[in-house]
Amino acid sequence: MAENGSVLLHPTPSFFVVRHLYGHVLPTEDDNMAASLRLGRQGMLFGLRRNNFNKCLRSTHQWQDQVRHFFQSPWVLGVSPLKVQMPALSPTMEEGNIVKWLKKEGEAVAAGDALCEIETDKAVVTMESNDDGVLAKILMEEGSRNVRLGTLIALMVEEGQDWKQVEIPSSDAAPPSEATPATKAVATSVVTSSAPSPPSAPKPVTSGPLRLSPAARHILDTHGLDPKLATPTGPRGIITKEDALNLLKASPAPKAVPSVVASTPPSPISAPAASPLPPGSRPNIPPLSVPGKPGAPGTFTEVPASNVRRVIAQRLTQSKTTIPHSYASIDCDMAAVMQLRKDLAKEQIKVSVNDFIIKAAAVTLREMPEVNVTWSGDGARALDSVHISIAVATDKGLITPIIKDAANKGVQEISSNAKALAQKARDGKLLPEEYQGGSFSISNLGMFGISGFSAVINPPQACILAVGTSRAELHLCEDDQTLCTKQLMTITLSSDGRLVDDELASRFLDKFRANLEKPQRMALV
């Protein structure tokens, strides 16, 4: 307040207001102009500072986007691969050998295309692709042996991606295909602290309709498995052959794993110096020959067994140690079969004696279904169809392709099927469904001049028929009491005593001889 008490001056941030005791007085024009200039100068400075700050932020964001794009690019992270693993191409397969790659790196692959040829424990099987894409990297080259199931053998990328930038997983993620002796020695020194927990039972898949490939449907139907328990891995939810085989492997109860493992590898023990042997004597154990040097007298060379040979050894041992074999033999007169072959040859129809034997065995099994059985572990399992397994010798071992539904086929059709299957077996091109699931086996060594032999039963089948060569013998004819020549062939039946006893085996051989000695009868029954 002024001394006279009439006027008060109030400073404000924008201008000065002159307030009178008895009313307000408007500010002067000079005061307003000064306040406006002062505010404008502050606003301009604030705007300049904010513009510079936004430019800095914009440049920072652009730099961060570029860095983020670089580190997320395939050049740094790589292209996410589609893994190709060693599949289970047969129920008994545990490992396989890469025979040949049918696709090259960088080549386009469609679902169903052949990727490579794999030697299983039975034959050489072509592995097909389950996905569309490009083969980016081959991890297991041709000739790789003893590749365990589930081992990563190749990588694929999706269509349109750069296959050269595929991301290769670390070596720890893939199980080794074949352990070296040093690795095996280190592995034996590890003691497992706890036994692995048994795998949980697969849960049924209930959502959506089931889609099965033909091979998967055949495997599941043959072994009586529920398709809902399989985990589909194929395109669009298809249950593939590998899925069915994985379910088949998971069905039996897991074997007990020994919990005690040797803590340290056994140290090699130096053999004591052998004392000189007396003249003319031979060592009890022949020494091993040295590779690269000529073998000395009495030495030997270890030959590694192939997968097929190992499986044959396991199944033969299983058959002879777990199946009570019974044997019965009979001689069949082949005169009618020989004459019928000559008549068919005049009409340019070429069939073999073995084709008539297959037909006779199939018709006899249809007449006597109690012989057409297999052993399931708990008892007999009667089979509805007659599938004849024929033994074929190959360079890698014996294999038994199957002539399916042989009882309903003619001799000429059986002949063409047998020739095609035998050639595929020698070439190693048999599919799993072509040598699995037979009900009765036939082994013929007559072409090698073998007069007679006893064959080993092929589990879980109940019987196998061993066929020798035909021979000419003089017999006394009952009609006119004169000597006549007969072409006789010895047939030996090996049967499982748990399923086919001696009386049943004898009746089977008698009916088989009746069908074989009168080929026209086989077309009527």
Which segments within 62-212 are labelled E, that is strand? 82-85, 95-101, 108-109, 114-119, 124-128, 133-138, 147-148, 152-157, 211-212
- Structural domains of the chain, ranges and CATH numbers in brackets: 82-157 (2.40.50.100), 324-523 (3.30.559.10)
Per-residue model confidence as pLDDT tens digits over 251-270: 754 444 444 334 444 444 44
Mean pLDDT, to the nearest integer, of 49-56? Answer: 60
252 vs 307: CA distance, rounded Å:
22
Identify the band that residue 453 occupies on the pLDDT scale cut at 50, 70 and 90. very high
Percent of the chain clearing pLDDT 90 (strictly above): 37
How many Cα atoms occupy the beta-carbon half-sphere of 426 within 13 Å? Answer: 7
Per-residue model confidence as pLDDT tens digits over 55-89: 555 555 555 555 455 444 544 456 788 889 999 88
| Residue 14 or residue 428, greater confidence | 428
Query: Of the ranges 37-46, 80-89, 155-164, 317-326, which one carries the lowest mean pLDDT score?
Result: 37-46
Query: Of the ranges 119-123, 215-219, 255-259, 491-495, which one carries the lowest mean pLDDT score?
Result: 255-259
Q: Which residues touch 280 (CB under 8 Å, ≥6 apart)?
A: none
Render the burial of 17-33: b for 16+ CB within 10 Å, e for the rest.
eeeeeeeeeeeeeeeee
Mean residue pLDDT of the chain comes to 77
Neighbours of 267 (CB within 10 A): 6
The pLDDT score that the predictor gives to residue 212 is 81
The pLDDT score that the predictor gives to residue 449 is 92
The pLDDT score that the predictor gives to residue 55 is 58
Percent of the chain clearing pLDDT 70 (strictly above): 68
| Residue 307 or residue 46, greater confidence | 307
Dihedral over Cα of 91, 96, 100, 105: its sign: positive
Cα(first)–Cα(last) distance of the chain, in Å?
138
Render the burial of 104-124: b for 16+ CB within 10 Å, e for the rest.
eeeeebeeeeebbbbbbbbbb
For Cα atoms 71, 75, 76, give the angle at the middle one, nearest 5 degrees.
40
Query: Of the ranges 124-128, 184-188, 502-506, which one carries the lowest mean pLDDT score?
Result: 184-188
For Cα atoms 172, 177, 181, give the angle at the middle one, nearest 5 degrees.
95
447 vs 423: CA distance, rounded Å:
17
Query: Of the ranges 187-201, 207-221, 230-244, which one carries the lowest mean pLDDT score?
Result: 187-201
Whether residue 53 is predicted with pLDDT greater than 60 in this model: the reply is no
The pLDDT score that the predictor gives to residue 65 is 55
Are 433 and 411 spatial neighbours (Cβ–Cβ below 8 Å)?
A: no
10 vs 515: CA distance, rounded Å:
133
CA distances from 455 to 145, 377, 463, 492, 493 (A): 32, 22, 9, 8, 8
Strands 238-239 and 211-212, by their bridges, are parallel
The pLDDT score that the predictor gives to residue 293 is 66
373 vs 318: CA distance, rounded Å:
19
Query: Of the ranges 29-33, 153-157, 293-297, 462-466, which one carries the lowest mean pLDDT score?
Result: 29-33
Whether residue 204 is predicted with pLDDT greater than 70 in this model: the reply is no
The pLDDT score that the predictor gives to residue 64 is 55
In the DSSP assignment, the letter for residue 461 is: B
Mean pLDDT, to the nearest integer, of 148-169? Answer: 87
Whether residue 206 is predicted with pLDDT greater than 90 in this model: the reply is no
The pLDDT score that the predictor gives to residue 515 is 95
Amino acid at 26: L
Neighbours of 61 (CB within 10 A): 10
- Residue whose C-alpha is closest to residue 362's, from 512, 513, 517: 512
